[in-house]
Structure 1
Amino acid sequence: MLKKLLLGAIALSLTNCLVLNPLGANLDREKGSVAAGRITDAAIQTDLINSTLLAGRASVSILSLLAGDIANIESDKYYIKSDVDKCVDEITGFKGFVFGSLISNIISCQDIQSDGYITGEPFPSF
């Protein structure tokens, strides 16, 4: 009985990832294109605020437009939403104000690991 229950739980877990990840319906995962857009938006926002406060006029660096690429986000993979949230918070927070969006992106967003196409990298933990 316990063996059947354990096998059923493993099968349900794998089926959950196989079905929900490609649909983007898993709550803790985010498509790479969405994650890259959020990181780019955060970098643009930080550049606008910093340039307005420091120079008196709003300007945006070309590197802030490439923030998703600098963070090595692949648009066809999935990323853990809490990791992306942490990266965005670092860019828009105190670190982004002090170091700028590029340096805070390099410091905070380089360790974001993809969660794979369908099942995760490596396979999801139980």
Structure 2
Amino acid sequence: MLKKILFVALAFSLTNCLVLNPAGATIDREKGSEVASRITDAAIQTDLINSTILVGRPFISIYSLIAADIASIDSAKYYVKADVDQCVSDIKGFKGFVLGSAIANILSCQDLKTDGYLTGDPFPSF
């Protein structure tokens, strides 16, 4: 009886990961398409504010429109939410206003970790 309970618990935990991770239902993951949208929005917002302050009229660079491509975001994968939040805050924050959104994107968003189905990609660190 105990073996059956342990087997059911193990099977449930494995299928839970297989179902919840791809569906994006876990708390600390974000779908790549949403990550791409957040990074692009942050880059556009930073460009608009920087150009308005420095030049006196709003201007959006081509680099802010392709910010997700610069950051190498794959819309089919899932990313760790804390890393994405840090990347977006760097683009919107002091680094983005001083260096510009494109350079802040290159410096902060190039090493975003994808999250796999069971173990993460790469394997999670303990």
Q: TM tier, shorter chain?
A: 0.7 to 0.9
Deviations 1:12-65 (A, max 9, x none): 443222010121111110000000100000000000000000000001001101
Please show how residues 1-126 of structure 1 align to structure 2 within 5 Å.
11-116=11-116, 120-122=120-122
Identity across aligned pairs (percent)? 70
- Structure 1 residues 6 and 98, CA gap change in structure 2 (3 angstroms): farther
Root-mean-square deviation over aligned CA pairs: 2.6
Question: Equivalents in 1 of 2:124, 2:6: separation in Å?
Answer: 16
Question: Equivalents in 2 of 1:112, 1:5: separation in Å?
Answer: 38
Residue identity in the other structure for 1:97: F
Scaled by the length of structure 1, the TM-score of the pair is: 0.86
Question: Equivalents in 2 of 1:20, 1:67: separation in Å?
Answer: 28
Deviations 1:91-124 (A, max 9, x none): 0000000000000000000110111356532456
Question: Equivalents in 2 of 1:6, 1:70: separation in Å?
Answer: 46
Residues 46 and 101 in structure 2, CA contact (< 8 A), matched pair in contact too = yes
Residues 21 and 117 in structure 2, CA contact (< 8 A), matched pair in contact too = yes
Residues 76 and 117 in structure 1, CA contact (< 8 A), matched pair in contact too = no
Alignment: residue pair count: 126
Unaligned runs of 5+ in 2: none
Unaligned runs of 5+ in 1: none
